[in-house]
Structure 1
Amino acid sequence: MYVAVKGGEKAIANAHALLAQEGRGDPGTPRIAVDAVAGQLAVLVARVMNEGSLYDPELAARAVLQAQGDVLEAVTLVRSYRTTLPRFGYTLPLDTATLPPQRRISATFKDLPGGQQLGVTFDYTHRLFAEATTDGPVVTASAAEPSGPMPRVNDLLGDASLIEPERSPDSTDPEPADLTRDPTMFPMSRAERLQALARGDEGFLLALGYSTQRGFGRTHPFAGEVRVGEVEVEFDAPELGFAVPLGRVEVTECQMINQFTGSADKPAQFTRGYGLAFGRSERKAMSMSLLDRALRADEFGERREAPAQDEEFVVSHSDNVQATGFVEHLKLPHYVDFQAELGLVRRLRHEHEERAAAVAETEEVRA
């Protein structure tokens, strides 16, 4: 580190002071409150929670403030804090089938049981700067209220055997590994891959998901359904013999309907892609579902030809904390390494010049 450099320790202390000063901004403006970030920058806070692997809007908002809006720095703060937390047990799987959506759309069926619900989204806004206002309009109800039960689109297709079952009737459901505690081993189970994708960098997943739509992967996707809403979390307490409700968390779920498959023994049917993320994170959930399907190539006997179909490539490079550390470590002192390579380059250049001089001398003698 730069502490070893003459005056380095004092320089680092000054750098910390400058960072705090720049982060505070104009002292004449009010300091941004944590609850303001959590309430008004909910999409940003959701991204930090997803990639930080911890659902805590207040803590994620604090991280955003401390990191001065640097998402990757905020994610690193959240993950570092997460490692200090004790683990008391596990919750039951979320029952997203009964999730009461604040937003629910489908690109596959116009008339859905229960109806489409637009909810909170940027999808229908004009991409223009709005005038600054102190308070926005108060909306007490959605413009499209649910008109009845809302079965999932993929379940409707599943009832008609038009899409692969969620799990094969003869398959087991092994306990998934915990990527935050166990080393990553390839090949991974689908559950482990989904863990990695949920923690993955949104931009990286978006780029790879986009690549599958452009032909670099066998997806041919349709957005079966996107839901956003709150779902109850229940803690499994073996000593009590029943689950204990802990509260509700906001999640975004995407069920993607993908390229159909079939064989001489099996009729044609659609295949699935799945994504689930904390908070309002539609882009993340959709990207996850595209990659989930692309990474299932082996299950359908497909050739893995595209980057999005390569499990090790996707998982190993989607973790932005690891990527940030590896890229930014280049800023740290590499004096010894560079001097060694500099010496090598100088020696090679000297040898090249000697050879060139010898060749020139030989040519001159021949002439």
Structure 2
Amino acid sequence: MYVAAKGGEEAIAAAHTWLAEARRGDRSLPAMSTAQIAEQLALAVARVMSEGSLYDIDLAALAVQQARGDLIEAIFLIRAYRTTLPRLGSSRPIDTGAMICERRVSATFKDIPGGQVLGPTFDYTHRLVDFALAAGDEAAAAKIAETAPQTRSRVSDHLGREGLLRDEPRSDATPPDLTRTPLELPAERPLRLQALARADEGFLLGLAYSTQRGYGRTHAFVGELRIGTVQVAVEIPELGFAIDFAEIVVTECETVNQFTGSRTEPAQFTRGYGLVMGRCERKSISMSLVDRALQWQELGEDNVGAPAQDAEFVLMHSDNIQATGFLEHIKLPHYVDFQAELQLIRRLRREATEAQMEAAE
């Protein structure tokens, strides 16, 4: 027999207490500080900032700690906190061409102006578990030769000067702010890029992989991937000019894609674009591939029915907070709904049994 569970506020309070105890873990071990999380789990913190749409390293680290490492829960916390903040103004577009690069690689040209800068990367590691870390042997890491980061010209600028890369259409219109107004379809590319920038990394990765497997007719090369520091500036009306007020780390990816041209345009390459707060290169590459797939209509290409070409499918399902809310609500009480369906099933089975008995007679 099914009965309603009882407990109410007392049970919820007990669950909160248990959660706090589970978060702390074994008290014989030292507690992890938010500073440790920010420094040693920097990529997790970067993802929380990116998908939470709020650049605050300490706050993101605190959210990771509070969420016990559940990054989507941490992103939820950051989004919720963000809604409480006043809007003091709007910054000018950041100039990624002036980025102070700590990492900058290109898969299209070996010898690029300014050179390849590998930076800290997993790309060339053996992917073997390093048990020296568990033993606390940090001296095993070789000392690297430090070089001063510097600005470097974009690879796409060199292709553009030859007319080999399609020019990006420019508009002075201010795009809608996705953090303050709901997403509406159809969405122009600036709005799509906003949605992709805070989309779930895993979802974007799966879509990007699908385009590489043929679901979207795009064959991309990483024209340039760069990670570094950029200045954020804001216009001060009383002063009549802009001032730099912050430095943030961003990851930018431009992919170069095949494009055959048309009757009105010569054969040239097109690009996909990804820009993400923090060090999130897998996310930025995925974003650029999906961005390119979504441009099929603007470029006059055929829609082959690939998931990554469907703007409604991509944009409405890429937000992990919306997805989490809708998915996890089904674990909350649905006693009345289930009882109604249970009674319906019982009645249908009873009627079917009675019909069989009548037919047998």
TM-score, normalised to structure 1, is: 0.92
> In the alignment, which residue of structure 2 is the partner of 1:352?
352
> In the alignment, which residue of structure 1 is the partner of 2:56?
56
Q: Tell whether the 8 Å contact from 1:261 to 1:268 is kept in structure 2 after alignment.
A: yes
CA distance in 1, matches of 2:215, 2:62: 39
Give per-residue Cα distances to partners, 1:52-86, cap 9 Å, x unaligned: 00000100000000000000110010011000000
In structure 2, the residue corresponding to 1:89 is in which secondary structure?
coil
CA distance in 2, matches of 1:242, 1:230: 22
> CA offset at residue 293 of structure 1?
0.4
> In the alignment, which residue of structure 2 is the partner of 1:75?
75
CA distance in 1, matches of 2:114, 2:229: 17
> In the alignment, which residue of structure 1 is the partner of 2:34?
34
Check if 1:284 corresponds to 2:283: yes
> In the alignment, which residue of structure 2 is the partner of 1:330?
330
CA distance in 1, matches of 2:106, 2:344: 61
Give per-residue Cα distances to partners, 1:272-293, cap 9 Å, x unaligned: 1000011111000000000000
Q: Tell whether the 8 Å contact from 1:275 to 1:289 is kept in structure 2 after alignment.
A: yes
Check if 1:238 corresponds to 2:256: no
Give per-residue Cα distances to partners, 1:231-282, cap 9 Å, x unaligned: 0110122232111111210011000001213112221111110000111110
> In the alignment, which residue of structure 2 is the partner of 1:217?
216
Check if 1:141 corresponds to 2:143: no
> CA offset at residue 5 of structure 1?
5.0
Distance 1:173 1:355, change over 3 A: farther
> CA offset at residue 137 of structure 1?
4.3
Q: Tell whether the 8 Å contact from 1:103 to 1:228 is kept in structure 2 after alignment.
A: yes
In structure 2, the residue corresponding to 1:359 is in which secondary structure?
helix
CA distance in 2, matches of 1:355, 1:5: 36
> CA offset at residue 134 of structure 1?
3.9
In structure 1, the residue corresponding to 2:258 is in which secondary structure?
strand
The one-letter code sitting in structure 1 at the alignment partner of 2:289 is L
> In the alignment, which residue of structure 2 is the partner of 1:180?
179
> In the alignment, which residue of structure 1 is the partner of 2:105?
105
The one-letter code sitting in structure 2 at the alignment partner of 1:176 is P
The one-letter code sitting in structure 2 at the alignment partner of 1:70 is D
In structure 1, the residue corresponding to 2:255 is in which secondary structure?
strand
Q: Tell whether the 8 Å contact from 1:113 to 1:149 is kept in structure 2 after alignment.
A: no
The one-letter code sitting in structure 1 at the alignment partner of 2:258 is Q
> CA offset at residue 357 of structure 1?
2.7
Check if 1:91 corresponds to 2:91: yes
Query: How many percent of aligned residue pairs carry the same amino acid?
Result: 59
CA distance in 2, matches of 1:180, 1:261: 37
> In the alignment, which residue of structure 2 is the partner of 1:365?
none
In structure 2, the residue corresponding to 1:243 is in which secondary structure?
strand
- Root mean square deviation, CA, Å: 1.6
The one-letter code sitting in structure 2 at the alignment partner of 1:348 is L
Q: Tell whether the 8 Å contact from 1:261 to 1:271 is kept in structure 2 after alignment.
A: no
In structure 2, the residue corresponding to 1:300 is in which secondary structure?
coil
In structure 2, the residue corresponding to 1:110 is in which secondary structure?
coil
Distance 1:165 1:338, change over 3 A: same
Check if 1:265 corresponds to 2:270: no
The one-letter code sitting in structure 1 at the alignment partner of 2:354 is E
> CA offset at residue 218 of structure 1?
2.3
CA distance in 2, matches of 1:205, 1:165: 25
Distance 1:48 1:308, change over 3 A: same
The one-letter code sitting in structure 2 at the alignment partner of 1:84 is T
CA distance in 1, matches of 2:291, 2:315: 11
CA distance in 2, matches of 1:348, 1:126: 60
> CA offset at residue 353 of structure 1?
2.0
Q: Tell whether the 8 Å contact from 2:97 to 2:151 is kept in structure 1 after alignment.
A: no
Q: Tell whether the 8 Å contact from 2:255 to 2:271 is kept in structure 1 after alignment.
A: yes
Q: Tell me, which stretches of 5 or more residues in structure 1 are unaligned?
A: 362-367
Q: Tell whether the 8 Å contact from 2:49 to 2:57 is kept in structure 1 after alignment.
A: yes
> CA offset at residue 9 of structure 1?
1.8
Give per-residue Cα distances to partners, 1:124-164, cap 9 Å, x unaligned: 1111111122454443515xx88x97321111111111010
> CA offset at residue 173 of structure 1?
3.1
In structure 2, the residue corresponding to 1:260 is in which secondary structure?
coil
Q: Tell whether the 8 Å contact from 2:113 to 2:152 is kept in structure 1 after alignment.
A: yes
Give per-residue Cα distances to partners, 1:300-324, cap 9 Å, x unaligned: 2223311111111111111001111
> In the alignment, which residue of structure 2 is the partner of 1:364?
none
CA distance in 2, matches of 1:53, 1:230: 17
Tell me how many residue pairs correspond in the alignment. Answer: 352
Q: Tell whether the 8 Å contact from 1:206 to 1:284 is kept in structure 2 after alignment.
A: yes
Q: Tell whether the 8 Å contact from 1:35 to 1:58 is kept in structure 2 after alignment.
A: yes
> CA offset at residue 17 of structure 1?
1.2
In structure 2, the residue corresponding to 1:69 is in which secondary structure?
coil
In structure 2, the residue corresponding to 1:49 is in which secondary structure?
helix
